[in-house]
Structure formats: structure tokens, C-alpha cells
Structure 1
Amino acid sequence: MDPHISRKFINGEWEDSILPALKEYVSIHNVSPAYDKNWETNGYIDHVVELFTGWILSQNLRGMYMEVYREEGRTPLILVEIEPSSEKCADRTVLLYGHMDKQPPLLPWDDGLHPYRPVIRDGLLYGRGCADDGYALFSSVAAIRNLQVQNLDHARCLIMIESGEESGSPDLPYYMEKLSSKIGKPDFIICLDSGCGNYEQLWLTTSLRGLVSGTLTVQILERGVHSGHASGIVPSSFRIIRQLLDRIEDPDTGVLKIPELNVEIPPDRVKEAERCAQSLGSSIADEFPFIAGSGPVSTNYAELLLNRCWRPTLSITGVDGLPSLSESGNVLRSHTSLQLSVRVPPTADASLAAEALKRVLEADPPYGARVSFVYEKSGAGWNAATLSPWASQSFDNSSMEYFGKHCDYMGEGGSIPLINLLANHFPQSQLCVTGLLGPDSNAHGPNERLDIEYAKKLTCCISQIIYDHANPQIEKK
């Protein structure tokens, strides 16, 4: 594989074909179904399907077959199949995954930026969904086309693009079962829906935390009463809920106390965090918009990475029962409700963690208050298997070739439910998770952006890795 030809071809594809299509994609309001109750009738997802399939057809991939699968009440799925380049690669399959649905816009964006109006500024493409992860389809196709242009080997390739990932991929298990005979048993899976520690090298995601989310409610009165008349006699629901939170979290350190939420961190992941801390340094914390004079919970960067990737944490993401400041009065409120988001370690049992949270929070309610913890969902984390020798070598070689630095490895603090789905559905497969959601990419927040130069290099790396996968000699090194 000639890296000079690959750079020239893939850079040209991005400038001439991918960026125009990606900008059109940004302009479409295809919010994921969990956040858009009218998704079946407003046509936004259908618009993206038309854009994606039309662009794929324009690429003239050899041996390509494409199908859009639809079921009533289910989000559509695009499956692209590219035949192997030769008989010697016919017994191998690469599956490349991405999704087309988007998070809600979450306004406001900075001046001159808008979630649905694409802007290129200083080498960055701004717009909702461009980095998370509308680019995945385009990068996957360009990586394979690069091999075909150079008449290089590649195995059978499948590109699977779903439209419900941001809603937890509710329809993906159904389609994977329905299409199991068509998909077969991929021996290598590349998921392009993750992040990178910086924009200077290729990154592989080695773990993801699980998630337990639910609503904690404390009710002490049937209705609100005058605070001057009742306070001192009636305990505040807010004070009771503080007491309950202290049962599960140390208020001074943020350490979660429940055994089911904690695991022993594998020694190799500790060493990994230490290596990453040396590579990334203060950027681990600097990427966050701290107000002047504030800072992270620790200045030990390895510990910060372990906190984010391997330790459980509690976030309060919503509240009910509290009036706005402009509407508040001298009232002792009847109840307080909090939305709890608990990230659990990659190897913890999320369902047991959810039950433990419920048990601890609801036991012996202070003052006989009515306490309930209703968890809406619990999802397991993921800890990657050890890379096979050829894959480890290929990732590192491609990173050196296109970035000039070795590939690095890092856990992610977020959750991607589909990764466990893929891992469990294809237990025999080498599952590699990567992506371009680096510092300030703001995937779910305002000003989402894609680093164009990084995307080009990542596409080159993916092309090289697909080629290496088809070359049996790589495995013998």
C-alpha cells in the first residue's frame, strides 16, 4: 500500500466529495427518536437515508450491494456489502459501524455557529452530528475505495449504519438477528463512534463505563405550606434528599460507597492510565471550561483518568419540585425529585448496581418520608479484549505512517450500549473502537465540531488496517 497515493486520494475525497455531503447532513434536523416523537412522519431520518444512499451509489465501489431495511415502528438501517477483492480474502469479513441519528441541538451555540448550519472555520467543521458520527459512513467508504483504486486486497466488507444509537440502539438487536445469515460472522469489527485523547495520533478505546439512571423522589407533605409556619416542625424534602445522597456518595470526595458500584481496576488499565497521563498531561483537565479560580478534583492526571474510566461517579442531571427563582415564594415544598446519572465501572454488573442503589436509597426513610428510586435504565460497560498481534502492529504502524506517532490506548468515561451488543453478538470477533471525538469536539453539547485534518488521517489509517487484515502475512510477524 502506497501511503503517498493514499494521502492524495483520501484528502481529495474529503475535500471534493465528503465535506459537501457532510455539510448537507449537518443541515438535516434528524434528531434521534428518543428526543423526537414525530420522527416517523417529519421525514428527517428519511432525508438522511436518501443522502447517504445516493452518495454511496455515486462512489462506484466494485462488487457493492446496498439495502435499506425498514420495519413499521422501527428506525431504518443501511447495510452495504462489498465483495472481497479476491478468493484469498473470501473467508474474512470486516464490519464497519456508524450511526446517522443526532443528539438534540442544545442551544445556545457561539456567534456565527448553529447546529444545523454547517460552518468551516480554522480547519474545523461545526454542526450537529458531523463528529458523532455522521462522518463514519463517508470514512468507511473512502477507506475501501482507496484500496480499490490501488488494486489492493481487502476482505468482504460490511458497512452498517443505524439510526437509533443516540436512543440506545433499540432496533439494532432486531436487525442483527433478522440479518444474521446475511451478516455472517465478521472476524474484525471497527466501530467509529468513540474518541481520541488528542489530535496527534491514532487512538483505540479500551473500555467504556456502564450507566444506571433513575429518578429519586422524596415527598414529606401532601401539598406545600408556608415556610415560616412549618419550618422547624416539618423536615425539608431537600434536606432529606441530601441525607439520602450522602448514603451513596461521600460529599467531600465524591467517592461512591456502595460495594456493587466498585470494582478492582485491572493492573494493565492502571498502567495504561499512567502512560496516557504522561502523554496528555494537563490537557486531561484543561479541555473543560472551568471558571476562573476553579479546577479538577485532583492534579494527579493518572488518577483523573482512572476516575473517569474505571471509578463510579454520580451526577445530578435533572430536578423537579423546585420553582424557578423568579417564581419562588416562602413555601416549604411538598417534595423534591432528582434525576440521578450513575456511571459504573466497565466490569461492574449494572443491573446489580441499580438494585443496590434502590435498596440503599429507599431503606428506613428519614422522618417516615415517602422515598422512591425508579431507575429507567441500566447498561453494562465494556472492557476490550487483548488485541491480536497483527491488529496491534497494524494500528501502531498506521498511526506512525499518517500521524508520525505511535497509536495510544485509553478508556472512555461515557457509555456506548451498542459496543456490548456487538461484543456479545460476535464473541469470536476482534472488536476495535476508535473515532475522532477529541478535546473540545462537544459531541452532545453546543459547538460540536470535527477536526478535518484528523478525519483525513483517521480515514487513511482505517484503509491501511483493512488492507493489513486481508494480508495473512501480517499475522505471522
Structure 2
Amino acid sequence: MDSGSVHEAVIKSWDEDVLSSLSGLVEIPALSPAYDADWERNGHLRAAADHMRDWIASRGLPGAQCEVVQLDGHAPLLLADVPATAGATARGTVVLYGHLDKQPPLGDWSDGLGPWQAVLRDGRLYGRGAVDDGYSGYAATTALTAIQAAGGRHARAVLLLETGEESGSPDLPAYLEHLSDRLGEVSLVVCLDGGGGDYERMWLTESLRGVVQATVTVRVLETSAHSGLASGIVPSSFRVMRQLLDRVEDPVTGEVTVPEMNVPIPEERRAEAEALAALEPGAAERRYRLVEGMRAASDDDVELILNNTWRPTLSVIGAAGLPDPAVAGAVLRASTSLRLSFRTPPTVDAEVARAALVKTLTSEVPYGAQVEVGDFLLLNGWQAPVTAPWLAAALEEIGDQVFGEPCRRIGIGGGIPFMEMLSRRYPNAQFVVTGALGADSNMHVPDEWLNIEFAEQVTEAVAHILDAHARD
């Protein structure tokens, strides 16, 4: 395959075809089902899938079939099936994965920007879903067309774009079962929902943490009471909640103390953390806009990286029963509810962790208060298999020819549910989890943006990986 031709085809496609269509996708308010109870009636998820389907169909890939699949009661999924090129039919199926659903706007965007407004500015495309990860379907399709334009090869490629990733991918197991016969023997998975620490090199996700989320409610009264009359007699629900939180997290260090949520850190992962820390000292802390005087959880870069990738952490991400301070009256509230989100190490069993959490929070509750733990979201983590020689060689070539810097491996503190599902179903497949996300891309928060040049390089890298896979 001619590398120069691949580069030219990728740049041409992004300039002439991708950016205009991706901008249209950004403008569709395709909120993930968890954030839009009326998603089916509103039709935005289906509109996003149809928009992407029509664009892929217009690319002219020989023999390609593209359809929106929608099982009853499930958010739609876009499937594009591209036949193998000559000489690559025996290499099985490549699954190229991304998602079309989006996070909510989440706050005020900067002047001139908005979540459903595509804005091109200084080599960036702003808008919700631009980098997380509406670009992925365009990158995957463009990589396939570039391969064919440059005389390269690729195995049968199946592009799967779901519409529930931001909700924890609850519908994916049903779709994988429904499509299992059509997928065939999957030998390579390329996920474009990842990224890394900068825009200078290709980043490969080596591991992903899992998730255990639950809503915990502490109830002390049938109805709320005047705080002046009831305090000192009735323990506050918040004080009971605070004691329960101290059971699962050290309030000083932040260490999660539930044994079932902790694992030994593999030595090779510690070595990777040390290499990453040495690459750019202080980067882990600089990525986030700490308020003046605030310090990170540790002064040791390696420990910060391991905290974020191989240790469990707790974030309180929601609350109920607490009025706004401006309208808070003198009331001892009947109950307090908190939404707890534990990020768990890659090898922790989410169901085992859930059971341990419930037992810890509901046993011997202070003062006999009522405690409810429910509304669970459980996701297992994932770690990549050993890299095959053909893939290692391709990655080295990509570092030299596409980025001019060696590829780097990184653990990610977040999760991609599809990876764990596919690794269980296809244990012999190779996995490449990469993408255009950067630490400052503002995914999930206001002013989300895509680095266009970096996305083009990622597209080019995917083309080289698919060609190398077809020739192995």
C-alpha cells in the first residue's frame, strides 16, 4: 500500500466530505437514553443513525451494505458491512466501533459556542459529540476508502455505531447476540472512543476501569421536622450518610476500603506508569484546572497515574433531598440520597463489588436508620491482550511514518463497555483502542472540541493497521 496515497486520500476526504457531514451530526441533539427518557419519541438517536448511514452509503465502497438495526425497546444501532478486498477474505472480520449518542450540554458554553452548534475555529471543530465520538464513523469509513484508493487490502470490515454508550451500553448484549451469526469470526477490534495525553503521537489504551454506580438513601423520619425542635433528638440523615461513606472511603486519603474493589497492581502496569510519568513530568496534574491553592491527591506522578487506572475511586455525582442553599429552611430533612460512582480496577468483578457495597452500607446502620441501595449501573473493566507481532510492527511503522513519534500505551480511568463484552465473546481477537480524544478535549463538559489534524492522523493510522492485518 502506498503511504503517500493513503495520506492524500485521508486529507482530501476530511476536507471535502467529512467536516461538513460531521458538523451536521454535531447539530443533532442525540442525547443518550439515560439523559432523555423520551428518546424514542423525540427521534434524535434515530436521526443521528440515519445521518451517518446516508453518508457511509454515499462513499461508494464496493459491495458495502449499511443499515440501521433497531430491536424492540432498544436504542438503534448502525451496522455497515464492507466486504474484504481481494486476497484478504481469510482474515476473518474486523469490527470498527464507535457511538453516536451524546452527553447533555452540562453548563454554559463559551461565547459563540453551543452544544448543538458546529463551529470550526483554529483547526478545531466545536460541539457536543464532535470528539466523543461522532468523528469515529467518519474516520473508520475514510480509512477503508483510503486503503482501496492506495491499492491496499483490508479484511471484511463491520462498522458498529451504537447509540447507548454514554448510558453504559445496556442494549449492546442484545445486539451482539442478535448479530453474532452475521459478525462471524472476529479477529481484530478497532475502537475509536479513546485517546491520550497529547496530540503528538498515537495513544493505545492498555486498560479501562469498570464502574459500580448506586443511589444510596438514608431515611430517618417519615416526614421532615423543624430543625430547632428535632435536632439533638433525631440524628440527621446527612450525619448517618457521612458515617456510611467513611466505611467505604478513607475521608483523608480517598482510598476506597472495600476489599472486593481492590486488586494487586501488575508490575508491568506500574512500569508503564513510570514511563508515562517520565515522558512529561507533572502532566497528570496540569491537565485539570485546579482552583488557586488546590493540590492534586499526590505529589508523585506515578501514584497519580495508578490512582486513575488501577485503583478504585469514589465520586459523589448526584444528590437528592438537599434544597438549594438560597431556599433552605430550618428543617431536619427526612432523608438524604447520594449517587455514588465507584471506578474499579480493570480486573474487578462488578457484581462481586456490588454485593460487597450493599453489605457494607446496610449492616449495623447507625441509630437503626433505614438505608436503601439501588438503581445500579455495573460495568466490568478491561485490559488488552498481548500484542501480536504483526500489530507491533504496524504500530512501529505508524509511529515513524504518520506521527513522527513512537506510539504510547496508557491506562484510562474511564470505561468503554463494548470492549469487555467483545473480549469475552472473541478471546483470540486483537484489540486496538485509540482515538482523537485529548485530556483537554472537554468531553462530557462545555466547549467539547475535536483536533482536526490529529483526527486525520488517527484515520491514517487505522488504514495502516487494517492493511497490516489483512497481510498477516
TM-score norm. by structure 1 comes to 0.96
Cα displacement (A) at 1:38: 2.1
- Quote the Cα distance in structure 2 between the aligned partners of 1:71 and 1:240: 44
1:27-426 equivalence runs, <5 A: 27-426=27-426
Structure 2: runs of 5+ lacking an equivalent: none
Cα–Cα, structure 1 residues 423 and 144, in superposed 2: closer, same or farther, change >3 Å? same
Greater shift after overlay, 77-86 or 136-145?
A: 77-86
On the 8 A contact 1:133/1:192 being kept in 2, the answer is yes
- Quote the Cα distance in structure 2 between the aligned partners of 1:80 and 1:43: 21
Structure 2 counterpart of 1:396, which letter? E
- Quote the Cα distance in structure 2 between the aligned partners of 1:251 and 1:291: 20
Match of 2:462 in 1: 462
Match of 1:438 in 2: 438
Q: Deviations over 1:392-421 (max 9, x none)?
A: 221222122111110000111112211111
Indicate the SS of the match to 1:62.
Answer: coil
Cα displacement (A) at 1:50: 2.5
Cα displacement (A) at 1:88: 4.7
Indicate the SS of the match to 1:71.
Answer: coil
On the 8 A contact 2:14/2:456 being kept in 1, the answer is yes
Cα displacement (A) at 1:92: 3.0
Greater shift after overlay, 250-259 or 147-156?
A: 147-156
Q: Deviations over 1:207-227 (max 9, x none)?
A: 111111111121222222222
Indicate the SS of the match to 1:216.
Answer: strand
Q: Deviations over 1:163-216 (max 9, x none)?
A: 222222222222222222211011111011122121110011111111111111
Match of 1:475 in 2: none
- Quote the Cα distance in structure 2 between the aligned partners of 1:90 and 1:193: 27
- Quote the Cα distance in structure 2 between the aligned partners of 1:432 and 1:218: 43
Structure 1 counterpart of 2:190, which letter? I
Indicate the SS of the match to 2:438.
Answer: coil
- Quote the Cα distance in structure 2 between the aligned partners of 1:116 and 1:375: 30
Cα–Cα, structure 1 residues 54 and 343, in superposed 2: closer, same or farther, change >3 Å? same
- Quote the Cα distance in structure 2 between the aligned partners of 1:392 and 1:313: 32
Structure 1: runs of 5+ lacking an equivalent: 473-477
Indicate the SS of the match to 1:90.
Answer: helix
- Quote the Cα distance in structure 2 between the aligned partners of 1:418 and 1:49: 18
Cα–Cα, structure 1 residues 141 and 303, in superposed 2: closer, same or farther, change >3 Å? same
- Quote the Cα distance in structure 1 between the aligned partners of 2:370 and 2:91: 60
Cα–Cα, structure 1 residues 266 and 375, in superposed 2: closer, same or farther, change >3 Å? farther
Cα displacement (A) at 1:6: 1.9
On the 8 A contact 2:92/2:184 being kept in 1, the answer is no
- Cα RMSD (Å): 1.4
Cα displacement (A) at 1:295: 2.2
On the 8 A contact 1:212/1:375 being kept in 2, the answer is no
- Quote the Cα distance in structure 2 between the aligned partners of 1:233 and 1:74: 49
Structure 1 counterpart of 2:393, which letter? Q
Structure 2 counterpart of 1:346, which letter? P
Q: Say how many residue pairs are matched.
A: 472
Q: Deviations over 1:413-460 (max 9, x none)?
A: 112211111111212211221111112112211111111010000001
Cα displacement (A) at 1:40: 1.7
Cα displacement (A) at 1:375: 4.8
Q: Deviations over 1:31-83 (max 9, x none)?
A: 11222122222222232223212211221112322232223322222221222
- Quote the Cα distance in structure 1 between the aligned partners of 2:164 and 2:13: 27
Cα displacement (A) at 1:339: 0.9
Structure 1 counterpart of 2:288, which letter? F
Indicate the SS of the match to 1:441.
Answer: coil
Cα displacement (A) at 1:90: 3.3
On the 8 A contact 2:50/2:68 being kept in 1, the answer is no
Q: Deviations over 1:307-357 (max 9, x none)?
A: 001101111111111111111122222221111111111111111111111
- Quote the Cα distance in structure 1 between the aligned partners of 2:236 and 2:70: 51
Cα displacement (A) at 1:265: 0.6
On the 8 A contact 2:100/2:162 being kept in 1, the answer is yes
- Quote the Cα distance in structure 1 between the aligned partners of 2:471 and 2:294: 52
- Quote the Cα distance in structure 1 between the aligned partners of 2:64 and 2:96: 14
Indicate the SS of the match to 1:120.
Answer: strand
Structure 1 counterpart of 2:384, which letter? A
Greater shift after overlay, 398-407 or 14-23?
A: 398-407
On the 8 A contact 1:169/1:418 being kept in 2, the answer is yes
- Quote the Cα distance in structure 1 between the aligned partners of 2:49 and 2:224: 51
On the 8 A contact 2:319/2:339 being kept in 1, the answer is yes
Greater shift after overlay, 263-272 or 191-200?
A: 191-200
Indicate the SS of the match to 2:53.
Answer: helix
On the 8 A contact 1:188/1:430 being kept in 2, the answer is yes
Greater shift after overlay, 458-467 or 369-378?
A: 369-378
Q: Deviations over 1:202-259 (max 9, x none)?
A: 0111111111111112122222222222322222221111111111111110011121
On the 8 A contact 1:400/1:407 being kept in 2, the answer is no
On the 8 A contact 2:168/2:377 being kept in 1, the answer is no
Cα displacement (A) at 1:86: 1.0
- Quote the Cα distance in structure 1 between the aligned partners of 2:327 and 2:174: 47
On the 8 A contact 1:218/1:372 being kept in 2, the answer is yes
On the 8 A contact 2:2/2:152 being kept in 1, the answer is no
Structure 2 counterpart of 1:276, which letter? L
